[in-house]
Amino acid sequence: MSTMQIASPAHLYYLHISSENPAKLAAFYRDHMSMGETVHGESHVLQGGARAAIISPGPAAQLVSPAYALRDQLALDALRERLQANEVPMTPLESPLYLPGAFVIDDPQGRKTAWGLPNRPLIEDQEPARLQHAVFQTTELDAVVDFYVSKIGFTVSDEVVNEEDGRIMVVFLRSDDEHHSLAFFRGSRNEWDHHCYETREWNNIRDWGDKFAKLRIPIFFGPGRHGPGNNLFFMITDPDGNRLEISAEIERVAAEVSPGIWPHNEYTLNSWGRAWIRT
- What pLDDT, on a 0 to 100 scale, did the predictor assign at position 276? 78
Q: From its phi and psi, is residue 61 left (phi > 0), alpha (psi between -120 and 50) or beta?
A: left
Domain range summary for the chain, segments of one domain joined by +: 4-116, 130-269
Instruction: Note the pTM of the prediction, 2 decimals.
Output: 0.96
Low-confidence ranges of the chain (pLDDT < 70): 1
Burial of 26 (0-12, 13-18, 19+ CB in 10 A): buried
* Partner residues linked to 103 by β-bridges: 92, 115
> How many alpha carbons fall within 13 Å on the CB side of residue 33?
29
Q: Which CATH number fits domain 130-269: 3.40.50.300, 3.10.180.10, 2.40.37.10, 3.30.200.20?
A: 3.10.180.10
- What pLDDT, on a 0 to 100 scale, did the predictor assign at position 139? 97
What is the C-alpha separation between 156 and 135, in angstroms, rounded? 14
- What pLDDT, on a 0 to 100 scale, did the predictor assign at position 277? 78
What backbone phi and psi angles, to 5 degrees, belong to 198?
A: -100, 125
**Are 207 and 197 within 8 A, CB to CB?**
no
What is the C-alpha separation between 42 and 182, in angstroms, rounded? 28
What backbone phi and psi angles, to 5 degrees, belong to 43?
A: -100, 145
Q: Do domains 4-116 and 130-269 have the same CATH topology?
A: yes
Closest CA to 217 of 246, 250, 194, 248: 246
Burial of 71 (0-12, 13-18, 19+ CB in 10 A): middle
**What is 113-160 written as a DSSP string?**
EEEE-BSS-----SS--EEEEEEEEES-HHHHHHIIIIII--EEEEEE
- What pLDDT, on a 0 to 100 scale, did the predictor assign at position 87? 98
User: In sequence order, what are the residues at sequence separation of 6 or more whose Cβ sits closer than 8 angstroms to the Cβ of residue 201?
Assistant: 248, 249
- What pLDDT, on a 0 to 100 scale, did the predictor assign at position 1? 63
Q: Which CATH number fits domain 4-116: 3.40.50.300, 3.10.180.10, 3.40.50.10490, 3.40.50.80?
A: 3.10.180.10
